[in-house]
Chains A and B, each alone.
Chain A
Amino acid sequence: MVITDETIYYVGILAKLFLSDEEKEQAKKDMSNMLDYVSKLDELDTENVEAMSHAFPVSNVFREDVVTNGDDRENMLANAPEERNGCYDVPKTFD
């Protein structure tokens, strides 16, 4: 399958990736290979087969509505690149 420049550009935007021209060419090849591999499935007739989202026949795994977690802010914020006033401090963002 041929991947166009437009597709790589669009996927790059969605994934927030800034690729060099060289990387773009490589990505085009990689993506093409992946899609070719998966397109093997198109050979099968899936007309009456229900779409599957899980490999195991498990359903209805629930949790009771009981608070089990306490305040673990210190540990949680330990993963933050920047922290201030008990908050994650990130580059300014707008709606």
Chain B
Amino acid sequence: MEKTYETVIGLEVHVELATKTKIFCGCSTEFGGEPNTHTCPVCTGMPGSLPVLNKAVLEKAVAVGLATNCNITRKGKFDRKNYFYPDNPQNYQISQLYFPICRDGKVEIDVDGEKKFVRIHEIHMEEDAGKLVHDSFTDTSLVDYNRSGVPLIEIVSEPDMRSADEVIAYLDKLRLIIQYLGASDCKLNEGSMRADVNLSIRKKGEEKFGTRTEMKNLNSFKAIARAIENERERQIDIIESGEKVIQETRRWDDEKGYSYAMRSKEDAQDYRYFPDPDLVPIIVDDEFLDTIKRRQPELRDEKRIRYRDEFNIPDYDIDIITNSKKMADIFEETIALGAEPKKVSNWLMVETMRLMKEHDRDADDLSFSAKNLATLIDMVDKKVINGSVAKEVFEKIFTEDIDPEKYVEENGLKTVNDEGALTKTIEEIVAANPKSVEDYKSGKEKAIGFLVGQTMKAMKGKADPGEVNRILKEILSK
């Protein structure tokens, strides 16, 4: 029964653009300020105030449009979307209905090797709303307008996705494109990227779409996957019991694992859009477009191809490293400082990943400098420190971005290269462990490991294990 239905999904993705100021006024967009300290007459909708478009918003929106293969609207404008809600002090949101800045794009997604395109219907620019905190004690709502007027783009896809995996692949694709462009940090959990899922089901093979619902409040990839699965089941149950799906907006409660209706089509809002008379038309001419095109950085897909050509590292490593712009930047900068690509990749793939997990950090939050990693790799190459000391030093680089040369010097971690001293220590270890020596000599090659370990311990870890091995074998073969 289940398998006879196909899920049809389209997405509305809101992305907060990484500008210094709001879309229509010179207030800071900085997150986390005291309530209402980043507000002015424009973003609180005072009568007589005049909004003026932030040029960086247009530039970033066009950059995202170009990177997602959209047509850029050459003559655009803003419209007012009217609704009453206290998060919106103007009683209208400035948005774009009639001439959105970008149209008819597409991005390619890859789910387990299956490639397909997801078409983008349009991308429009708009302003974010303020934040409400409901106070049950006083039975009132407290409003903070710091976020009011923060620039957003809304990316509207066509209903081209058929599973949660495709939805996640599409969102990840958008995230990477936008992060690489530097247009936003795209964090679902912090709300700088928000996805509303439009979902309907239909019998397989049928062409006509079913009635769709819109799901809001999805704050993680996991929540999105769960909500899609749950909504698919809910709609199948409704249809199987002979009833009809109602077109409505639903809110997902991820803790409880179910959704509830917020508003239905019967009381659907009539937004009475009309052109905003305060904002003049936007003409995107060839010169503007060429400037943005010239500025487009190398995007992830191009980077992956180049890495394959330039550096001899596995595809798996390439995928992980380029999965974060931050990590790819560290990788390239470290190589530019003279480190061998394979070695840089190893530090990122093994120790960095381990520490990220341990410190519960995202690749985008990496804060160590390429210079310190390059120096560390050089110190290992030159045998100034050994591998295990290097790991210890790297942890300090990862957490505090320390200068490895200085740190090794101050903490006396340099490998002891005095062969006389090393030989003396090894002779003592050999003399103190006749059993292991006997084992080794009778063919138990593994016994040498214990002797190396004892020597390293005696040297407080500051010897070159290769060198210890060599001298040990020499002594034992006597």
User: A-side interface residues toward B, CB under 8 Å?
Assistant: 14, 16, 53-54, 56, 58-69, 71-73, 76-77, 79, 82, 84-95
Contact = CB atoms under 8 A, between A and B. Distances in A.
A87 B143 contact: yes
B56 A65 contact: yes
Interface in B62-91: 77, 82, 84-86
A41 B87 CA distance: 38
13 contacts: A16-B84, A54-B277, A69-B27, A69-B38, A69-B40, A71-B38, A76-B39, A76-B44, A89-B140, A91-B140, A93-B85, A93-B134, A95-B251
Given A69-B26, A86-B36, A89-B140, A14 B272 contact: yes
Contacts of B134: 92-94
B58 A62 contact: yes
B34 A65 contact: no
Given A61-B52, A67-B26, A53 B277 contact: yes
B464 to A, nearest CB: 53
B356 interface: no
Given A60-B283, A66-B26, A67-B21, A90 B36 contact: no
B140 A92 contact: yes
A14 B92 CA distance: 12
Contacts of B25: 63, 69
A76 B21 CA distance: 18
Contacts of A53: 77, 275-277, 281
B133 A58 contact: no
Interface of B: 19-21, 24-28, 34-41, 44, 46, 52-58, 77, 82, 84-86, 132-135, 138-145, 251, 262, 270, 272, 275-277, 279-283
Contacts, number: 132
A38 to B, nearest CB: 14
Given A60-B282, A67-B28, A91 B141 contact: yes
Contacts of A90: 86, 140-143
B141 A85 contact: no
Contact of A54 (B58, B272, B280): B280
Contacts of A95: 251, 262
A63 B26 contact: yes
B352 to A, nearest CB: 33
Do most interface residues of chain A lie in helix, strand or loop, or is the interface mixed?
loop
A69 B283 CA distance: 27
Given A53-B281, A71-B37, A87-B36, A62 B26 contact: no
A66 to B, nearest CB: 7
A69 B36 CA distance: 12
A66 B54 CA distance: 9
Contact of A87 (B133, B277, B280, B282): B133
Contact of B280 (A14, A58, A77): A58
B89 to A, nearest CB: 8
Contacts of B41: 76
A72 B283 CA distance: 34
B148 to A, nearest CB: 11
B36 A62 contact: no
B78 to A, nearest CB: 9
Contacts of B139: 92
A64 B54 CA distance: 6
Contacts of A59: 280-283
Contacts of B77: 53
What 5 pairs across the A-B complex have the smallest Cβ distances?
A68-B26, A53-B275, A87-B142, A65-B56, A62-B55
B20 A84 contact: no
A76 B40 contact: yes
A91 to B, nearest CB: 6
B404 to A, nearest CB: 38
Contacts of A84: 138, 140, 142
Given A59-B281, A61-B280, A62-B53, A89 B26 contact: no
A65 B19 contact: yes
B53 A61 contact: yes
B241 to A, nearest CB: 28
Nearest to B271: A14
A63 B54 contact: yes
B35 A87 contact: yes
